Amino acid sequence: MVIDLDKCTGCGACMVSCMSENNVPFKEDESDKKLSITWMRVYKLTNGKSFPEAEIVYLPRPCQHCGGIGDHGHSPCVSVCPATATDYGYDTGIVSQIYTRCFGCRYCMGACPYHARHFNWWDPKWPEGMENYLSPNVSPRMRGVVEKCSFCYHRYQLAREQAIVEDREIEEKEYQTACTTACPAGAIVFGDLNNPAHKVHQIVKPDPHPDPMNHKVVGKSRNPKVFRLLERLGTNPKVYYMSDREWVRKAGDNYLKGEWENVKTHHGASSSHG
C-alpha cells in the first residue's frame, strides 16, 4: 500500500469505512483514544513551526503488515505471540489475526512499534438493531481479544473465489481494501508490490535486495518521495508513504542530529547495486 500524504485531507472516511467493513464496535464514550478501537487511524502531525510557517500533515496508519528483519516473515507481533493467533502469510505478505486463538495477553501490542493493534477491554455491544449491518465476512470479536487491520483479507478471499470460478487471475481492481475505495482524494493506492503491472509497484519501486547501509531493511523504495515509518528498525512494513515535503518524510522516524542527512539522500538501491 502507498499513501500519498499530500492528497490526504484528514477527512477520516478511511477510518469509518474500515470500521463499517470489519464489524468494529463503538462505545458511548470514545474520547480516550488509547482505548478507542480504530484499525485505521489518521494521525495529525505538525512541522513544529509557528504560524505562518506552520504546516500539518494527516497520516493514515493501518496495520503495516511487517515482514520483519530481512523480510523473512518474523514480524514483531508474530514473533512474540504465544498462541500463534497472529501469523505471517508468505503467500500474500499479510499478517493474519485469528480471534479464536488469541487469549488476550497483549504481548503483540507491546511488540508493535506502530500502535496498530487494539484490545477489546469490553465486549463489543451494538445498540439494539444495529447488529443488522454487520458483515458475515469478518468474525465479530469478544472481549479479551486483540484485533487489527487485516488489509481486508476477506475481500481477497472473495475475489479469489470469483477468479477461480472464472479460471483466471485476480485483477488489480478486484481486491482493494475498504480504506482504499473510500478515500475521496484517492490518496491510498493498494495492490501487489511485487507485480510490475500494479500501480503501487510503479509508484513505490521497492528494492528487493537488502539495503547495503542497513541489511535489516528490504524493499526500500527507489522513489525519493516515498518512505516507510520507522524504516531503520527493519520491520519492513508493506505500507509506504509518499510526500513532496521533506519535513513529512523526516517525520517518518526519530532522527538524531545529523542522521537525517544520510537518510535523505539514500534511496532504495538502483539496479547497479548488488
Task: Please report, as residue ranges, which positions from 219 to 248 form the binding site for other proteins (by CB under 8 A).
Answer: none
Write the binding mask 23 to 42 for other proteins: x where contact by CB under 8 A, - elsewhere. Answer: x--xxxxxxxx--x-x---x
Does 124 interact with other proteins (rule: CB under 8 A)?
Answer: yes
Stretch that binds other proteins, among 43-51, 60-68, 218-226, 248-256 (CB under 8 A): 43-51
Task: Indicate which single residue of 82, 106, 115, 135 sits in contact with other proteins (rule: CB under 8 A).
Answer: 135
Residue 63, amino acid? C
Q: Check binding of 81 to other proteins (CB under 8 A).
A: no
Is 197 a binding residue for other proteins by CB under 8 A? The answer is: no
Q: Is 123 in the site for other proteins (CB under 8 A)?
A: yes
Contact between 189 and other proteins per CB under 8 A: no
- Binding-site member from 109, 113, 154, 214 for other proteins (CB under 8 A): 154
Angle at 87 between CA 85 and CA 89, to 5 degrees: 145
Q: Return the number of the residue (95 or 217) whose C-beta is nearest other proteins.
A: 95
CB of 186 to other proteins, least distance (A): 6
Query: Is the bond leading into 52 cis (omega within 30 degrees of zero)?
Result: yes
Q: How far is the CB of 271 from other proteins (least distance, A)?
A: 28
> Residue 20 interacts with other proteins (CB under 8 A)?
yes
Using rule CB under 8 A, residue 96 touches other proteins = yes
Q: Is 56 in the site for other proteins (CB under 8 A)?
A: yes
